[in-house]
Every structure is written in C-alpha cells, then in structure tokens.
Amino acid sequence: MKKELFKQLPKVDEIIKIPEIIELSKNIDYFNFTEGIRDGIDHFRQGIARGIITELHLKDVVETIKNIIEKKSQMNLRNVINATGTLVHTNLGRSLISEKAAKNVVDVITSYNNLEYNLEEGIRGSRYDHIEKLICTVTGAEAAVLTNNNAAAVMLALNEFAKDGEAVVSRGELVEIGGSFRVPDIMKISGTKLVEVGTTNRTHSKDYKEAISENTSMLLKIHTSNYKIVGFTKEVTNNELAEIGRENNVLTMEDLGSGVLVDFGKYGLKKEPTVQESIASGIDLITFSGDKLLGGPQAGIIVGKKKYIDRLKKNQLLRALRVSKMALAALEPTLRYYLNEREAIEKIPTLKMILEDTVKVKERAAKLLEILQKNNVKCRLVETEATIGGGSMPGETINSYGVGIEGNPVELEREFRSGTPHIVGIIRNNQFILDAKAVKDSEIHPVANRAVDIIKNK
C-alpha cells in the first residue's frame, strides 16, 4: 500500500507546471518557491511513511504546497494592527514614524545621497552635520551627536569619560529595562566602576559629595522611566547634581531615556522631565532615545556642552555605534515638527495618540462595534485603560474604549494574532478585547472583516 502511495507522489518538475503553482511563482524568489514545493511533497512522503496518510489526491498535494509557498512568500518582519491599548509597544516596534518621515526615508535610501558628502564644498562631510544644528535648536543644547540607540549613547559616554574611573549613581536609579538589560552591566562593559550611593528610596546631596574621590570621573543620574518609587522618598534634582559637579570639577550626565520634548503636564497628563529642562539645569551631558516618546526612529541622542560632544565625536567606538542613514532620514522630519509644538502634536503619531480626545477613541470603538453587530458577532463596547508603554511614564493610564468579543478569550487571541491581517488584542477579566486607542481609522474595516471571518468559521 505504501509503495503505491509513494509512486503516486508527484515530482517537483510536475508540480511546477500546474497553473495554480505557476501563478504563485510570480510573488516569490525561485529558491523559496522550489523549496516550498519540496517541503510540500516531503510532508506527504513522511505522512505515508508513518501510516498517517492512507490515500493520496493531487488536489490535496497542490493545496498543501500552495499554503507553504504563500507562507514562505511573507516577510518575517510584517505589519501588525495594535489593539492592545499600549501605544509605544516594545514588542510591536515602539513608536510609529510620521508619513513625512517615512517618505523621506524611502526617498533617501532608494537613491544615492549626501550622507557623508558636503555638497557646498565638494568634500567629505559628516553624517552628524545634517541634524546636529536642528537638535540644538529644538533642545537648547550647545552640541549633539547620535548613536544607533540610547544604550549605545550611554555606553559611548561612559567609555569616553569614565573608563577606568568611577561613576557615582543613586541606588534607586540602577534600572533594568526590557530583555534583562541592566545599567550596571553597561557600565561594566564600558570599563566604568559603579559606585552606589543612597538607598533604594532616598538619596541626598551629601551622599554624592561624600562619594567623590580622586577616582571619580562622573556623577550619573538615570531617569526611572519604567518604574516609580512612592512614599518616603528623596532624590537629588538635576540642578543640585549639576552644582555638585561644578563645585568638585566632576562631569555630570543624565540618562533621560524616553526623550520627552513636550511638557505633557500642560495637557493633563503626568509631567515627565523634558530634555530642555535637563539642559537648562546645567547637566553636562544628556542621553535619550529617538523613538519612544520623541516619536521618531530608533536612535540614541547625546546633547550637552560642546567640549564634551567634540570628544565623543573623536571616540573610535562611535563608528561601531553610529546612526544609520535611514534613522537620520526619519529623525530630521520628526524633529522639524518640534519647531512648532502644535504641529508636532498633530503630525507625530505617538504624540497624537497620547493626547487624542477620548471621544474620538470611543467613536472608533463604536464604529467597529456597529459593523460587528450587523454581522451577528456577539460583542459589546467596553471602557478600558490604555498605557503609554515602551518603558515610559510608569503607572500612567489613559481612558480608552474597545470592543469585547464573546467567546473563548485564549482561542480568540490566537486566531486574531495568527491570521491575516495580524491583530494583537488583549485579554482582561477573562474577555478578549480589541482596544481602539492605537487602532487607526483605516484599520477599522480590516479588523472588522477579520473578526467576522473568525466568528463565522467557528
């Protein structure tokens, strides 16, 4: 029986001639196309060998191969609809860049460009010249330099100014971010000795002063952007730390993390320290992210006193950590929006979502609900709490709305996540919910269509 089934298995060159398969070849490279056919045939060969497959039909083989080829034709990094209610979602790519920034990236990377070429003088230029002045204008800094992310920015500064020396840090600021990434480990890699001062909840000016010795290279302040300590607490302010540094001729630096350029306190949200405020305090160097709350691409930005930035530009480690042309192309349009705060809030997706009126979110949720109910999907409008995410503004929530769908929440979550389009929702109170806070207007119908298909196929 098995011998007969093995004989019936079509060969690769036979499958390639089938019209349905030929059509699929137009959207995939030849290697994955032929590998998909072989994988499909091998699937049936193994099934026959194990006795699982006892009869063979060509249409089944073709259908299996089609499914395999279609999966192979998809890119591994693909679009996802964010219905989690978390705006700067680390696992879903953090901040969305603006349409203008995206267009500029495409324009720059699909042609040659002046990345390191001075068009006015016809000589080699610096990639940092394209954006340094703009950063300084927006933040009020004397000078700036960029790396590929904020962790790299911190490591570069530590390597330049505190290698083989000591950096004094408050015990309550020794943060760990996603993926078990810890500040003490970065300090160790950079060749810096960590000196902890104060306690978890209280650190005073005298703690820094008493820790300063002939080996002290830096006083480092780290913004606790992904957690908060409440109750009986005390921390040294930027102004106080900057003064201690000046009095003792020790460099001061702050890892600000999320890179806030807008005072959210003016808009009814929890106030986060802004880059401009850190610079005004007199801190010598400040590092922050280009994405997250700034709303641009992944990048690490270092701003501060010119004499220190000039040294960083000469550090050989900078070449290994340098920012890409794609990040520069996306960051410049993003930062230009900040020249007018109102325009930044309207055009930068992350800021727009954070400060969006809850009424508009409810309207999107209600529109989705209406479509689903018209198609006999059992669901209801639910009030939710959205979060900023991305290790930013811990504990801060924003009123939001979503649609709760009736059914097994675990199964629904898997169905929405694994289908096309990929929709990532949340499970709360044993209910699967599609939070509308981060769902675009243009995504309402795709979400609704997918939901209807899932429920109909159950």
Q: State pLDDT tens for residues 178-227.
A: 555 677 888 888 889 999 999 888 889 999 999 999 999 999 998 876 66
Question: In the chain, how long is the greatest CA-to-CA distance?
Answer: 90
Beta-ladder partners of 424: 82
- Residue whose entry in the numeric block shows the structure tokens 């030929």: 22
The tens-digit pLDDT sequence of the chain (458 residues) is 788 888 889 999 999 999 989 998 988 999 999 999 999 999 999 999 998 998 899 999 999 999 999 889 888 999 999 999 999 998 999 999 999 999 999 999 999 999 999 999 999 999 999 999 999 999 999 999 999 999 899 999 999 999 999 999 998 888 776 555 677 888 888 889 999 999 888 889 999 999 999 999 999 998 876 667 777 778 889 999 999 999 999 999 999 988 899 999 999 888 888 999 999 999 999 999 999 999 999 999 999 999 999 999 999 999 999 999 999 999 999 999 999 999 999 999 999 999 999 999 999 999 999 999 999 999 999 999 999 987 677 768 899 999 999 999 999 999 999 988 999 999 999 999 999 999 999 999 999 999 999 998 87
What is the value of pTM for the model shown? 0.90
Using CA atoms, how far residue 153 sits from 170, 320, 402, in Å, is 20, 11, 38
Domains observed in the chain: 2-73 (no CATH), 80-91+353-456 (3.90.1150.180), 99-347 (3.40.640.10)
Quote the CA–CA distance of 28 and 74 in Å, as a whole number. Answer: 9
Quote the CA–CA distance of 324 and 354 in Å, as a whole number. Answer: 28
